[in-house]
Amino acid sequence: MQPKIFIDGEHGTTGLQIRQRLADRSDISVLSMPHEERRNLEKRREMLLSADVAILCLPDDASREAVQILKDAGNSTTRVIDTSTAHRSHPEWVYGFAEFDAGQREKIIGASRVSNPGCYSTGAIALIKPLIDSGILPADYPITINAVSGYTGGGKQMIAQVEDADHEQHIAAVFFEYAMKLEHKHVPEIIAHCNLTKRPLFTPSVARFPQGMLVNVPLHLDGLKGGAIASVHSTLADHYAGQNIVEVVAPEDANVLARIEPEALAGQDIMRLYICGSDETGHVNLVAQLDNLGKGASGAAVQNLDLMLKA
């Protein structure tokens, strides 16, 4: 029998892209609620309880509500992938970043509850965690993260503001920063999964393109153990060896590029990590390039779904 998949919130930005990725699949059956029924709690409850895997594409409170519906019903069979922020640091949820460490794929395969990483978090953690784990980067290093995302990361509200010139809150800027108090919701996730002991400075921004992302983590080499770009490269290359989702671009290849463009991986579900800089300058800039709706959201959710279906 085909596994039944319910995308709770399939009419939102992330849900729509997950639905598109699953549209031609013959190995699963996708349960769907019409747009006009999306607020029908009883119908939603019915879908949740009958699904083998529920993918929650909802605001945080609605995701918690969906999980509570399953709990109150005594349901122990519906497995859950949550794309919201609600459970990303919850100790009872498996973090849905398959390349996180050597055993993460197996944890996801066997999990009943999986939290999908945030888009910025995916890039930042991919760059920082292997260096922390290896001891090259101190856990109390004063990390700075600068990032730019396509405007679809802001969901339907931001998409409407950017694309509709008549919208009362129309955004005409080609680029803008936000989260000016440095309290972005992805920061706790980055701290928790990188085991940082000093809160990083995170400056997110949005540009006038729909999909794509760059996450930059600049570092002083004299603050790293070994203090050489070669050790940074070898650590990241070793960590991501043997898989085909995260690619590591060596400094000799990254340094000769004219530019690194945030839209280059739009529509793809991979991520590239670039190591830029030199021992002579004493600086290295680590850059993650991904689609904010690909490996940063919908693509990661489908990757996690495929892993869970292996169980």
Identify whether the C-beta of residue 122 lies closer than 8 Å to the C-beta of residue 271: yes
- Alpha helix segments (H runs only) across the chain: 13-22, 41-50, 60-72, 104-110, 119-134, 155-163, 187-194, 229-239, 251-254, 299-308
Co-location of 143 and 166 in the same domain: yes
pLDDT value at residue 267: 96
pLDDT value at residue 168: 86
The more confidently predicted of residues 280 and 39 is 280
Q: Is the pLDDT of residue 226 over 90?
A: no
- State the average pLDDT over residues 72-91: 96
pLDDT value at residue 37: 80
Co-location of 278 and 130 in the same domain: yes
- State the average pLDDT over residues 152-180: 90
Identify whether the C-beta of residue 6 lies closer than 8 Å to the C-beta of residue 31: yes
Question: What is the pTM (predicted TM-score) of this model?
Answer: 0.96
Range of the domain at 8: 4-117+297-308
Round the average pLDDT of the chain to a whole number and report it: 95
Instruction: List the catalytic residue out of 57, 119, 194, 276.
Output: 119
Co-location of 84 and 48 in the same domain: yes
Is 57 in the active site? no
Structurally, the chain folds into a number of domains equal to 2
Co-location of 152 and 262 in the same domain: yes
Co-location of 88 and 47 in the same domain: yes
Q: Is the pLDDT of residue 78 over 80?
A: yes
Identify whether the C-beta of residue 5 lies closer than 8 Å to the C-beta of residue 55: yes
Co-location of 239 and 280 in the same domain: yes
Q: How many H helices and E strands in the chain?
A: 10, 13
- The helix/strand/coil state of 145 is strand
Identify whether the C-beta of residue 18 lies closer than 8 Å to the C-beta of residue 8: no
Residue 152 gets which letter from DSSP? G
